[in-house]
Amino acid sequence: MREEWRQLRQSWRRGLTSPGLLRGWGLLILEFNGLRLLATRPGWSVALVMVLVATLVTSAVQLTQLALTLANVPVSDRRVSYRLVTQHWMTWCGVLVAVVILTVPWGLWGLSSRLLVRLPVPTGWVNFVGLNRRPVLVVAAVIYFLIAGVVLLRGPHYFRRLTPQLTQPGSVWQMLTGLVMGGGLTLLWLTASELLVGANVWVGHLGKMNHLAVASGSLWLILMGFTLVAILTVITIIWSWTGQQPQRARYYRRPLWRLVVMTSIVGLAVVGQTVTQTPQFTTTALISHRGVDHHQAVQNSITALRLIHRQRPTYVEMDLHETKDHQWVVLHDENLQVLAKKRVTPHQLTLHQLQRLTLREDGHQAKLAGWPAYLRTAERLHQRLLVEIKTTPQDSRGMTRRFAQQYGQRLVHDHSSVHSLDYRVVRQLREAVPGLSVGYITPFNWVAPNAVPADFYSFQRISMSQQFLAAAHSTGAPAYVWTPDSHAAMTRVWALGADGQITNELTRLRAVTQQNPAANWWAVIQNFILSYI
């Protein structure tokens, strides 16, 4: 282990300072951060495509040069090696594709959201993934680990084909060691970054310092640390593939100050864009999820609606299921086992039968609400609703069109809105009731919003980013986020500039949005960190 650690430190030194590699790292830093800046605006541009192609080419050249350097390939033999790389270009492309696939879930060096938000996926595919998200995620996880296993077990073999001068390709154990070391470096960076977030929280409470200056300095340090960790991690992985090669007695000791200066200047540009981007800390709609606030009543009940209305939310979000007699009942889960202790679904009972059931939750109880009674109550209170239409394979033919005919114009008159996880509902309602505001709910954010046109979007919080907000706004559509419930999550979403938050803690959300934005720059920093992981 001590010998491996010594060789790894030597590989770091050579990988950073060898001729050509130092310039290559500088160019890659410039290109990656250029992509981050250019990708701030939605859509594609000539400059963005050119920088993207240049980044891919530079990455291929840099990784090849790094592998040859760590494998101790003499300069005189490198023409042959480059010729082999050209001959095995499909193998090399496969390696790059595998690296991209494996790093997309982990931020893709800060470019993940910027890439995904531009994916032009057909509407049918998006809807299939959204409606079958659990099995799709399982299949995606299996494919991911298969690719990771191939890279782990076969990576050194593929590298041997590209660099036959290797005397002893890396073993699986060395590959695992490299992955653990890379993960450790990332964890070290993440820990230091979170300490800076904590420092900014403390500065925000003091109220006597320049919050923007402290936040800018923290962002710069985080970016510099990430750049160093990313380079060392790449060198570590290549080292694990090349194996423990005989080390030369002479090492390059080129100064790093040029790279440090250039990285610092580029970092200042990224920091400047981060602290000046808009929207941030904007006015946000307060939306009660399922009509509750801190477990004060049974979700989706008329009692909860009356109670939450006293707090004047922008919308009360609630859920509808079709019943056996083709009516609608206000219910979130398809099965009533949790709330009514009965293993039945709305499609097995009529509306009248369902309204006789008693629901119990958090020490409260209420009758299951039918949609006609719930809507009448909301109209008497002049409370706007955000109606989520749930769909199942048991739904009747023409369900959405009947809903549009019976309730579309009433909801338009009430200034209420409708959204759904099923894009077929969104499309049909927009066609049937042009004046009705209809939105699409994303179970996770992975494609361009314009692939599923809607009047607004309800984005899932965990995979939310500034790019998806900007993409929605570029189409003129508001963007709501569900369901931030903690103080920290609400503040981060507020810092992103979401148009509204759908939450189970309405009182807490109101208090968050009444804070002084200057004291919450820590949330901007936290969002910046999360964009890289």
Reported as a single tens digit per residue, the pLDDT across 194-218 is 999 999 999 988 876 788 899 999 9
Average pLDDT over residues 287-309: 97
Residue 509: closest CA among 297, 311, 309: 311
CA distance 30 to 266: 7
Whether pLDDT at 157 is above 90: no
CA distances from 306 to 95, 106, 339, 511 (A): 59, 43, 20, 21
Q: How many C-beta atoms lie closer than 10 Å to residue 84's C-beta?
A: 17
Dig out the tokens for 206 from the structure: 């003091």
Q: What is the pLDDT of residue 17?
A: 82
Q: What is the pLDDT of residue 249?
A: 45
CA dihedral sign, ordered 522, 524, 527, 531: negative
Which amino acid makes up residue 318? M
CA distance 162 to 154: 13
Q: What is the pLDDT of residue 5?
A: 78
Average pLDDT over residues 39-54: 89
Q: How many C-beta atoms lie closer than 10 Å to residue 406's C-beta?
A: 13
Q: Are 484 and 288 in contact (CB under 8 A)?
A: no
Phi and psi torsions of 103, nearest 5°: -100, -15
pLDDT tens across 490-519, in order?
999 999 999 999 999 999 999 999 999 989
CA distance 321 to 164: 63
Q: What is the pLDDT of residue 227?
A: 94
Residue 317: closest CA among 480, 451, 160, 159: 480
Task: Give a three-class secondary structure readout of 445-477.
Answer: CCCCHHHCCCCEEEEECCCCCHHHHHHHHHCCC
Number of H-type helices and E-type strands within the chain: 21, 11
Average pLDDT, the chain: 89
Q: Which helix (H) or strand (E) element contains residue 77? A: none
Whether pLDDT at 79 is above 70: no
Average pLDDT over residues 160-179: 68
Q: What residues does 285 pair with on adjacent strands?
A: 500
pTM for this entry:
0.91
Does residue 156 have a cis bond before it (omega within 30 degrees)?
no
Q: What is the pLDDT of residue 84?
A: 59
Q: What is the pLDDT of residue 31?
A: 94
The CATH number for 285-332+371-530, chosen from 3.20.20.190, 1.10.10.10, 2.60.40.10, 3.40.50.300, is 3.20.20.190
Q: Are 61 and 23 in contact (CB under 8 A)?
A: no
Q: How many residues comprise the chain?
A: 533
CA distance 443 to 452: 13
Q: What is the pLDDT of residue 149?
A: 83
Q: Which helix (H) or strand (E) element contains residue 71? A: none
Q: Which residue in this structure is represented by tokens 């208090």?
A: 511
Which of 56-65, 73-82, 401-410, 479-488 is the least confident region?
Answer: 73-82
Average pLDDT over residues 101-130: 90
Whether pLDDT at 472 is above 50: yes
- CA 342 vs. chain centroid, Å, equals 37
Q: 5: buried, middle or exposed (CB in 10 Å: 19+, 13-18, 0-12)?
A: exposed
Q: What is the pLDDT of residue 74?
A: 66
Average pLDDT over residues 354-373: 96
Which of 52-66, 321-335, 410-424 is the least confident region?
Answer: 52-66
Task: Break the chain into its structural domains and give their ranges.
Answer: 2-276, 285-332+371-530
pLDDT tens across 232-265, in order?
999 998 888 776 655 554 555 556 777 788 888 8
Residue 14: closest CA among 211, 283, 239: 239
Q: Are 359 and 329 in contact (CB under 8 A)?
A: no
C-alpha dihedral, 501 to 504 to 510 to 511, nearest 10° = -120
Q: What is the pLDDT of residue 80?
A: 55
Q: How confident is the model at residue 273 (pLDDT cuts 50, 70, 90)?
A: confident
Please compute Rg for the chain using Cα positions.
27
